[in-house]
Chains A and B, each alone.
Chain A
Amino acid sequence: MVNNIAEGTSPLMEKVSSFFESVPGFSHNFTAIARWVFVVLAIYILLRAILSLLSSKTPSEIWAYLSIGNALAMPITHWENVIGRAKSCDINLDVKTVSKNHATLIRKSDGKWILNDLNSSSGNKVNGHPISKPTLVRIGDALTIGNVDCTLASTSLEEDKHNHEARAILSGRFTPWKSIIALSIFQVLLVIQLIISKGSSLPPSVPIVFFMFTGIMWLYSILVRSAGMTAFEIDSIAFFLSTLGLAVVATSSPEEIVKQFVTVCMGMGLFFFLCWYLRDLDRALKSRRILLIASVALLLLNIAIGTYKYGAINWISVAGFSIQPSELIKVSYIIIGSATLDELFQKKNLGLFIGFSIFCLLALAYMGDFGTAAIFFITFLVISFMRSGDFSKLFLFIASAAGAGLMVLRFKPYVLGRFSVWMHAWDFADAGGYQQVRTMSAGASGGLVGLGAGEGWLKKVAAADTDLVFGVLSEEWGLIIALLAIFSIVTFSVFAVKSIKAGRSTFYTIAACASMTLFIFQTILNVFGSVDLLPLTGVTFPFVSNGGTSMIVSWGLLAFLKAADTRENASIAVKRFKVKGGEVE
């Protein structure tokens, strides 16, 4: 469809382009001014979202109360709670007969509560009966935890209403409109800038794609707003980064813009799907087994029929489309690795995940994709540490990884080659440091505000639009925007950690923290590799690097962050409960 429209608008494009050329000095003066306007708009859009996310309070949802005696009612603020004497417990009972981690009290999606003993010394009773296995608890039931008598009490309707209102005030409101207007102006100026710099060589599909992207953004905002959502920070950052990603493709390989746009749409599709899917925790938990089998199969398929590209066999071609299975598996890896609080206390679950992780790492190593293997490993570290909290295991894993890394250096000489250039790129400016030196030279040429989209030359260097994309951003958009892109990713990660306080289930918080750390580590490898602070590994910058699978997966992983955003009415990935047990929608 885009191509048909493109044919129709081709003469128009030429007219516009020749009009710009006919006004003396227009082109140059436009760029001279627009480069500052871009920076101002970017700062506005991103700082607005970043500051809102970082300053937001994530007030707790109150699901029920645990009444002890007549006076004390402890609010239960998570779906998953540990009851015990330890300070780290969600429900802290500082009584000697209560074990440090005594029991878990967990709310199911259907509103039922389950009490489970954690090998406590004094045991638990429900309505006077000692329990030996997970036991259903109803509102009003009497619980004996250790020898503390308490009652599970519901929240009253009035209280509920008050809580919601208070939460809404604390959550704050972030409406999309100002950001969307600023981003639309940004996109219009971007198209003009591209027409100026590329002239008639710019395919008409480029302006059309940006036009459609602007439309989709508006449509998304209207839909989300009319559904009553009050948070739009994460989404606006993703839209901004995707705009930069499309701009990178428009300057480096404009003929691929339609493909990249389609993958943005597919990514948003995956994002919506996962947001919906993650709303139901039981559903998400049940799918892990199937995902695990599917992931193993996909990796084996990759090894069997994969094609060799840029030093690794990590592509498979299906019906004319090349996809990177290892990218897609990032999404399922997060789901498989995340666990509920109950599972945190069961060792066998972690064992299965460790096994799956080792399989993934071996498969990636066999494929020669050591960059992605490193990303999986760091994600594994985050997940396993969040699940176990065990430092000794952490060191053990890191040590074994270091050993494996040395083996890689020993048997893969080209990897060693990258290490020998590391920190000495300028000494090998036309050999091993070729790409890094050019990234720095072009990047510094852009100064703080860039030379204008389409005006750079770094794009001519191999893999500039993927591995060296930070350099392309610096050159054409300036250091400020390039840094803002980095800080956007940092903000995601900080927000993921912040959201733990009011998290419903550890499944969501582990998924959010793991996926955002994956983003962070990927950005570290991409950015620092391209500017010689780390060896060049060839991984993508989330949302910004050219590459279909990477774009889809970036949006997909963002759903995990959305699912952890429990601010009042904030997230389409979070179910809203008004009346006990009932849903709003």
Chain B
Amino acid sequence: MRKLEKRALFCLLFSLILVVGSFVYVYKFASEGSQWIAYPANEHLYTKGRLATGTIEDRNGTVLVSNDKDGNIVYNSDLNLRTAMLHVTGDIHANISTGANRAFKDKLIGYNLITGTFSASGEGRKLSLTVDSDVSKAAKEALGNRTGTVAVFNYKTGEILCMVSSPNYDPAKPPVLDKNDTSGAYINRATSAAIVPGSIFKLVTSSAAIDNLPNLDNWTYTCTGVHTYGNSEKDRVTCLKPHGKQTFKEALANSCNCAYGELSNDIGEDKLKETIKQSGLTDSYDIDGIKTTPSSIETSSQPLNLAWTGIGQNKDLVNPISMLVYVGAIAGEGEVHMPYIIKDISSSSKISLPYKHTDDTKKLLESSTAKKIQDMMRNNVQKSYGDNRFPNLEVYGKTGTAEHKKGDASHAWFTGFIKDENHPYAFIVLVEKGGYGVDVATTVANKVLQVAIKK
């Protein structure tokens, strides 16, 4: 009999395999369960492949979209509102990958390891976003049928107040776009595009200049309208008109390309690169799980190209949200609160879930540098664009008119912030092929801000 005792260990080997395998499964269950349940065949959450649970509201409690039990996605009845919110919520076919109904699926489902997909209230969850549908509507109307984007966020908290992208459409009736589509209607331009920035990029070049060039207060440049590099006449930087003798501050207010080309070369490629890296523009931001497209900026050792890089042309492509965050850092004297969009998650039975946004700040530039740029941005509005464009607002800004394709109208940009205790908002406006930033983009910005400060 005793002989069998050792031989029987062979049987225990199989028990061991079963136990070890079970633990492997438990590990996978714990780490991948949230993905498994999100599979559209899961009838606890989907009806006919559509999410059948959850409601998304804006910051004022206006219902943007709700998923009913039969798998119908019901949008707000106001066509203008639901169209304005298209890129925030997503459409019925989930064409927009950054749409909340798709990107925040796991949060709407309310899955957790312990109770699974069981909802104690029997109802789905409610996601409250930080966006304001009235401000968004104003932005959509201001953009009209032009292509572009408007984004506004609170630089003291990080809350995204407005994120509108155009072209847009009724989320309940998405158009079918063919493979060669160029409209980019399925793309949220604020988070997912990278576009030639033009002169708004001079804010970054300015920061590099302040950090690296001594005696900047005494620095001057005399603009003749053209600055040639090398021997060829073609290799030149131009301004629309000769600006004459420019100080650093005046050069930004007049957006003097020749002066900034020269400044870029004074700074040098290495230092400019360093500042760009520190600015966070080339990073991808994580907005509650939505990853922004990083900007791409190529510096060059070749003086002409380096000049154009500092002016925001050359191969520069900037993501609107990352630029907005950078401007937020200027407003916040160097530090910025990371942008977020989920304000709260609750179950419909009014039982508040312990959802808490974790505030995250990042230092993008030196405090003294930020203060100097603030001063120059205020000067831009006062001296160059005119305060009368922005009634009752103390605007700090920089316009951009980005050339992108010969023969096409330029992209019009305007980015900046307002100093208002109750409305500490930074904004960015892009109107593609809109023309001059100073005319087109500032008007859009004003319309949006006027609604925002009344809240």
Binding site for B on A (CB under 8 A): 28, 32, 35, 78, 80-82, 88-90, 341, 344, 378, 381-382, 385-386, 389, 429, 437-438, 440-451, 457, 478-479, 483, 486-487, 489-490, 493-494, 496-497, 500-501, 503, 506, 509-510, 513-514, 516-517, 520-521, 523-524, 527-528, 531, 533
Task: Decide if B114 is an interface residue (CB 8 Å cutoff).
Answer: yes
Q: 3 closest A-B pairs (Cβ-Cβ)?
A: A447-B116, A444-B33, A457-B43
Q: Given A451-B117, A524-B14, A445 and B42 touching (CB < 8 A)?
A: yes
Contact assessment for B4 and A443 in the assembled complex, using a CB-CB cutoff below 8 Å: no
Contact assessment for A520 and B14 in the assembled complex, using a CB-CB cutoff below 8 Å: yes
Q: Given A386-B8, A509-B8, A494 and B15 touching (CB < 8 A)?
A: yes
Q: Which of B14-53 touch A at CB < 8 Å?
A: 14-15, 17-19, 21-22, 24-26, 28-29, 32-34, 36-37, 39, 41-45
The residue that B3 contacts in the complex, of A88, A450, A493, A528, with Cβ under 8 A, is A88
Contact assessment for B11 and A496 in the assembled complex, using a CB-CB cutoff below 8 Å: yes
Task: Decide if B214 is an interface residue (CB 8 Å cutoff).
Answer: no
The residue that B37 contacts in the complex, of A88, A444, A524, with Cβ under 8 A, is A444
Note all chain A residues with C-beta closer than 8 A to B233.
Answer: none
Contact assessment for A493 and B1 in the assembled complex, using a CB-CB cutoff below 8 Å: no
Main secondary structure of the interface of A (DSSP, over half): helix
Contact assessment for B1 and A448 in the assembled complex, using a CB-CB cutoff below 8 Å: no
The distance from the CB of A337 to the nearest CB of chain B, in whole angstroms, is 13
Q: Which of B236-270 touch A at CB < 8 Å?
A: none
The distance from the CB of A519 to the nearest CB of chain B, in whole angstroms, is 9
Contact assessment for A448 and B14 in the assembled complex, using a CB-CB cutoff below 8 Å: no
Contact assessment for B3 and A445 in the assembled complex, using a CB-CB cutoff below 8 Å: no
Contact assessment for B14 and A486 in the assembled complex, using a CB-CB cutoff below 8 Å: no
Note all chain A residues with C-beta closer than 8 A to B28.
Answer: 531
Task: Decide if B179 is an interface residue (CB 8 Å cutoff).
Answer: no
Contact assessment for A516 and B42 in the assembled complex, using a CB-CB cutoff below 8 Å: no
A517 to B12, CA, bound (A): 8
Contact assessment for A500 and B36 in the assembled complex, using a CB-CB cutoff below 8 Å: no
Q: Given A35-B118, A438-B41, A448 and B10 touching (CB < 8 A)?
A: no
Note all chain A residues with C-beta closer than 8 A to B7.
Answer: 385-386, 389
Please give me the residue from chain B that is nearest to A447 by CB atom.
Answer: B116
Contact assessment for A90 and B22 in the assembled complex, using a CB-CB cutoff below 8 Å: no
Note all chain B residues with C-beta closer than 8 A to A509.
Answer: 1, 4, 8
A123 to B43, CA, bound (A): 75
The residue that A444 contacts in the complex, of B9, B11, B24, B36, with Cβ under 8 A, is B36
Contact assessment for B36 and A440 in the assembled complex, using a CB-CB cutoff below 8 Å: yes
Contact assessment for A521 and B1 in the assembled complex, using a CB-CB cutoff below 8 Å: no
Please give me the residue from chain B that is nearest to A81 by CB atom.
Answer: B1
The distance from the CB of A435 to the nearest CB of chain B, in whole angstroms, is 11
Contact assessment for A448 and B18 in the assembled complex, using a CB-CB cutoff below 8 Å: no
A523 to B39, CA, bound (A): 26
Contact assessment for A382 and B11 in the assembled complex, using a CB-CB cutoff below 8 Å: yes
Task: Decide if B354 is an interface residue (CB 8 Å cutoff).
Answer: no
Task: Decide if B230 is an interface residue (CB 8 Å cutoff).
Answer: no
The distance from the CB of A410 to the nearest CB of chain B, in whole angstroms, is 27
The residue that B117 contacts in the complex, of A90, A344, A445, A531, with Cβ under 8 A, is A445
Interface size of B as a range: 35 or more
Our count of residue pairs bridging A and B at CB distance below 8 angstroms stands at 155
A451 to B21, CA, bound (A): 24
The residue that B14 contacts in the complex, of A344, A451, A517, with Cβ under 8 A, is A517
Please give me the residue from chain B that is nearest to A25 by CB atom.
Answer: B122
Task: Decide if B406 is an interface residue (CB 8 Å cutoff).
Answer: no
Contact assessment for A382 and B39 in the assembled complex, using a CB-CB cutoff below 8 Å: no
Note all chain A residues with C-beta closer than 8 A to B421.
Answer: none
Q: Given A382-B11, A479-B29, A497-B12, A451 and B4 touching (CB < 8 A)?
A: no
A538 to B362, CA, bound (A): 55
Task: Decide if B78 is an interface residue (CB 8 Å cutoff).
Answer: no
- List 14 other contacts, CB 8 Å, given A447-B111, A494-B12: A81-B1, A90-B1, A385-B7, A442-B44, A445-B42, A445-B44, A449-B118, A457-B44, A478-B116, A479-B26, A497-B12, A524-B14, A524-B21, A531-B28
Q: Given A88-B3, A382-B11, A386-B4, A444 and B116 touching (CB < 8 A)?
A: yes
A341 to B3, CA, bound (A): 10
Q: Given A386-B8, A490-B19, A524-B21, A89 and B2 touching (CB < 8 A)?
A: yes
The distance from the CB of A33 to the nearest CB of chain B, in whole angstroms, is 10
Q: Which of B389-444 touch A at CB < 8 Å?
A: none
A381 to B2, CA, bound (A): 20
Note all chain B residues with C-beta closer than 8 A to A341.
Answer: 1
Contact assessment for A82 and B26 in the assembled complex, using a CB-CB cutoff below 8 Å: no
A521 to B13, CA, bound (A): 10
Task: Decide if B234 is an interface residue (CB 8 Å cutoff).
Answer: no
Contact assessment for A447 and B115 in the assembled complex, using a CB-CB cutoff below 8 Å: yes
The residue that B116 contacts in the complex, of A429, A448, A496, with Cβ under 8 A, is A448
Note all chain A residues with C-beta closer than 8 A to B14.
Answer: 378, 493, 517, 520-521, 524
Contact assessment for A447 and B117 in the assembled complex, using a CB-CB cutoff below 8 Å: yes
Contact assessment for A500 and B26 in the assembled complex, using a CB-CB cutoff below 8 Å: no
Q: Which of B103-142 touch A at CB < 8 Å?
A: 111-118, 120, 122
Note all chain B residues with C-beta closer than 8 A to A451.
Answer: 44, 116-118
Q: Given A444-B33, A531-B25, A385 and B10 touching (CB < 8 A)?
A: yes
A533 to B21, CA, bound (A): 8
Contact assessment for A489 and B18 in the assembled complex, using a CB-CB cutoff below 8 Å: yes
Task: Decide if B5 is an interface residue (CB 8 Å cutoff).
Answer: yes
Please give me the residue from chain B that is nearest to A451 by CB atom.
Answer: B118
Contact assessment for B15 and A490 in the assembled complex, using a CB-CB cutoff below 8 Å: yes
The CB with the most chain A CB atoms within 10 A, among B7, B21, B26, B29, is that of B7
Please give me the residue from chain A that is nearest to B118 by CB atom.
Answer: A451
A289 to B191, CA, bound (A): 78
A496 to B42, CA, bound (A): 40
Note all chain B residues with C-beta closer than 8 A to A517.
Answer: 11, 14
